[in-house]
Structure 1
Amino acid sequence: MEVPILEAGSGPLVLCLHGFPDHAASWTGILDRLAQEGYWAVAPAQRGYWPGGAAPDGSYRPYSTGQDALALIEVLGREQADLIGHDFGAAAAYAAANLDATRVRKLVTMAVPHGRQVLNAFVSDGDQQRRSWYMFFFQTAMAEAAVELDDFAFIDRLWREWSPGYELPDAERAALKETLRAPGVLTETLGYYRQAFSPPADEAAQALATRSYGAITVPSLYLHGADDNCMSAELSAGMDDLFTNGLERIVVPGAGHFLHLEQPKTVADHILGFLNS
């Protein structure tokens, strides 16, 4: 399968993995900063995010998107890369580092913590259940119609709620909706949520899934917006035991869920300080 990518610069490879409701284009500013610092920055479309890009095995679980990241490193002709992941892209980055740590030099993740505390919060934390209402709604058959209604007003609502005080520029908003409007894409992207609460059926996939949730053995940086109304920053506290080669955790003030767009200079400075150290 050919994967659409955005890229900038040349040098050591850095992969930037996007989440939902988002697409590779939101990395443009970070790609440019990385390129200026001497990196080859590449942002692929995640499986399902383009016509004909549906998961070949039907899986949208992190072990599958993590395998995609590892495969892309190889296809791009590199032995190793730094990984930057946001939202579902963070889940893919964790999985990739767990499935083959030799291919990942450093790990940067944003907005979605690593560890069982996230799943536990969906079960027991009323505040997080309120924030995550959309995940449960996406399990229903009416989700596609609701999301598409009135020029994807549902998507506007998520961005507004998750990043209070931030307004995605009109041109970027239109480009994102164009991605989601493409034939078949919305249903495929909702697959990430529809598979989030159930394990894969076959034993080999179950084993991969288990491995993908293990302890991270590469140096790691975690960033979370202080005002994130999608995933509470508090869920990222206490992750250190799951990162055996060091974890730097930073809560970014004045930022919500899409912190790399809301505070681009601050986030890029943190990322580059970590990658260059």
Structure 2
Amino acid sequence: MNVEHRDVDVNGIRLHVAEQGSGPLVLLLHGFPETWYSWRHQFAPLAGAGYRVVAPDQRGYARSDQPEDADAYTLPDLVGDVVALIAALGEKEAIIVGHDWGAPVAWSTAMMRPDLVRGVVGLSVPPFPPAMMPAPSVSRQIYGEGFYQVYFQEPGVADAELAADPASSLRRILVGASGDNPETDEARLWMVPEGGTLLDALPPADELPSWLTEEDVAAFARDHATHGARAFTGGLNWYRNIERNQALMSPFQGRGIDVPALYMVGDMDLVTVMRGIPELREILPLLVPRLHADVTLPGCGHWTQQERPDEVNAALLDFFAHVEAGDAAG
């Protein structure tokens, strides 16, 4: 049973999706700067367990359409894509799994449209209701101008830097934020040195860790090359809407996430050392009352499902069984 590929029209744009299996729908939402391919280790195990597994290239990424307008990448737009995708696939509900930026989209969909979400999983990024991520104006005050999310705000700058050599950029990013970064044995933020670039802060990645092959890097780079000089612009535009998301999501202030949920993160993930994350994890059961588990993976960096596929797959299937049991009991 192979992974099949096709395009689906949602909200006036075309999304490329990878799909395998049949049964209850599971949507896998990637983060930055990844593609559907980041879920390569999840397709067969989840499909083999009786699920219809679908991973899109999200709006702006890889083989999917990339709207020109930078304002077209707000959380409501991204949640709208998920809602439309569920319908376009002929389904009425899904379990949604998101990693990195895919996690805020998954959490937001569960918060805004719980009628469509049987369960939600966030890998790496926990929920920050209602807008899911701190605004750059706040991050600038906390971390300074070198914080990567602040650096990403200037149109064209990071875009050109990363697109100059997509394969090299991806190697540096994937290795640099992993638990196998050769230059550190602890989680650390991406900080751009004064007068430098993001890639200056990441190791050259001459050697790849065991979980990442040259073929993997080439697959990511090949899909990103679809958009040429704008290879990374779609994903970067997600960051350029974080400030707008604060206002757009304000009607949901005080609303929690009322569906079964799972959170997983590596103890070497840069997210774990962001300001307020330890405190946030302590109150997760208040934000997500139906939290099934909060799992920490020792030695794992930011690329959760790629670095620790066996542990992630086991935790996902355990959570899916919990969702199925709850549905049956309900």
Q: TM-score range by the shorter chain?
A: 0.7 to 0.9
Shift in Å, 1:262: 0.8
Partners of 2:109 and 2:79 in 1: CA distance = 4
1:171 aligns with 2:185: no
1:122 aligns with 2:142: no
Over 4 Å off, 4+ runs:
123-126, 206-209
Shift in Å, 1:254: 2.1
Q: Is the 8 A contact 1:10 1:35 kept in 2?
A: yes
Listed one character per residue, the Cα deviations across residues 18-69 of structure 1 (whole Å, up to 9, x for unaligned) are: 0101100111211111101000010011001146612487421222211211
DSSP-derived class of the 1:26 partner: helix
Provide structure 1 residue ranges, at least 5 long, that are not aligned to the other structure.
201-205
Q: 1:31 to 1:212 in 2, by over 3 A?
A: farther
Partners of 1:146 and 1:56 in 2: CA distance = 19
The code of the aligned residue for 1:32 comes to A
DSSP-derived class of the 1:46 partner: coil
Q: 1:185 to 1:192 in 2, by over 3 A?
A: same
Partners of 1:158 and 1:134 in 2: CA distance = 12
The code of the aligned residue for 1:44 comes to P
Q: 1:190 to 1:169 in 2, by over 3 A?
A: same
Please name the residue that 1:218 is paired with.
Answer: 259
Provide structure 2 residue ranges, at least 5 long, that are not aligned to the other structure.
1-8, 181-208, 323-330
Please name the residue that 1:42 is paired with.
Answer: 54
Structure 1 stretch displaced more, 236-245 or 12-21:
236-245
Shift in Å, 1:197: 2.5
1:192 aligns with 2:238: yes
Listed one character per residue, the Cα deviations across residues 149-181 of structure 1 (whole Å, up to 9, x for unaligned) are: 344533322222210314621111111112222
Please name the residue that 2:200 is paired with.
Answer: none
DSSP-derived class of the 1:77 partner: coil
The code of the aligned residue for 1:146 comes to E
Q: Is the 8 A contact 1:115 1:239 kept in 2?
A: no
1:144 aligns with 2:189: no
Larger radius of gyration: 2
The correspondence for 2:174, drawn from 159, 163, 166, is: 159
Partners of 1:61 and 1:231 in 2: CA distance = 24
The correspondence for 1:249, drawn from 294, 298, 309, is: 294
Q: Is the 8 A contact 2:62 2:225 kept in 1?
A: no
Instruction: Name the one with the larger helix percent.
Output: 1
Partners of 1:150 and 1:77 in 2: CA distance = 39
DSSP-derived class of the 2:58 partner: coil
Listed one character per residue, the Cα deviations across residues 205-228 of structure 1 (whole Å, up to 9, x for unaligned) are: x55564398310101000011111
Q: 1:13 to 1:52 in 2, by over 3 A?
A: closer
DSSP-derived class of the 1:182 partner: helix
Please name the residue that 1:53 is paired with.
Answer: 65
Please name the residue that 2:117 is paired with.
Answer: 104
Q: Is the 8 A contact 1:51 1:185 kept in 2?
A: no
Q: 1:172 to 1:209 in 2, by over 3 A?
A: farther
Q: Is the 8 A contact 2:264 2:297 kept in 1?
A: yes
Q: Is the 8 A contact 1:226 1:254 kept in 2?
A: yes
Aligned-residue CA RMSD in angstroms?
Answer: 2.6
